[in-house]
Amino acid sequence: MKTEQELKNIVKSRYTKIAEQGKAENASSCCGATTPSNKVYNIMMDDYSDTEGYIEAADLGLGCGLPTQFAKINKGDMVIDLGSGAGNDCFVARHETGAEGKVIGIDFTPVMIQKARLNAEKLGYNNVEFREGDIDDMPVNDNVADVIVSNCVLNLVPNKQKVIKEIYRVLKPGGHFSISDIVLVGNLPDALREDAEMYAGCVAGAIQKTEYLQHISNAGFESLKVQKEKPITIPDDILSKYLSQDKIKEFNTSSIGIFSITVYAEKPGKKEDKPRLKLSELQANSSSCCATNSGCC
């Protein structure tokens, strides 16, 4: 049984390699981590091509949903993306927040952070920031985010309860999250569950759907709901690395289900209105400006 740190090191090593792979190669494997399938499979990811704010260069094909589509992001919001990769969901979120909002991406893989920062610089986005760090110990203060999003990342973290508690800490009262992730119904075969490559591939690290939702409720979140759910099928040529043909047939006809779910929940409390200057304050500022500098008005 590997320790939490050993599992984190495995994921970090895999995702360093993934950062240098192409989207097509990542999309035809399990979250980019396993050897690509002999056929062209979109195993996990959803299609972003019609999503406003989508930047193809930032899409490494590693997601399992479209959390930003369900995240109810408003203009001026402060959004945090957990496991931000090359910046894909951050740039989609930035389209929703506008220039007046702010987006922070957190990732623990230095190469991903470098890639995301380069993408942001090319786009000229000065309100999108990328911070290196663990999502179970976020490098941000308490009560700062209006919205948190994440795409196929929590399943890679050994201590999911700790991440969910961190999400609660970082969200403002009245803030909410929308997270896409991989969950299970039934127990995976031992060969899949124990393999490090499949852990980095989003499958072996997944927990039971009921347990996942219970962790969210236990953390104190309200208005919990599953916004979207879809089954995930692992191709036989990937399964054949771990299971015999008889075991593959047994697995495919069993009640075991691997699902991508997008989950929404809110932190209790009242959301404060964003501060706006009153008309009288604008007029006072204008008068002050004109009184001190005749050329400014």
The whole-angstrom separation of Cα 2 and Cα 33 is 18
Q: Identify each DSSP E strand in the chain by its residue range.
A: 78-82, 102-107, 128-132, 145-151, 171-185, 222-231, 257-266
Using DSSP's 3-state secondary structure scheme, residue 102 falls into: strand
Question: What's the average model confidence in pLDDT over 247-266?
Answer: 93
Q: Which tens digits make up the pLDDT trace of 161-179?
A: 999 999 999 999 999 999 9
0.85 exceeded by pTM: no
The whole-angstrom separation of Cα 230 and Cα 47 is 14
Q: Which tens digits make up the pLDDT trace of 95-146?
A: 999 999 999 999 999 999 999 999 999 999 999 999 999 999 999 999 999 9
In the chain, the domains with their CATH numbers are 4-292 (3.40.50.150)
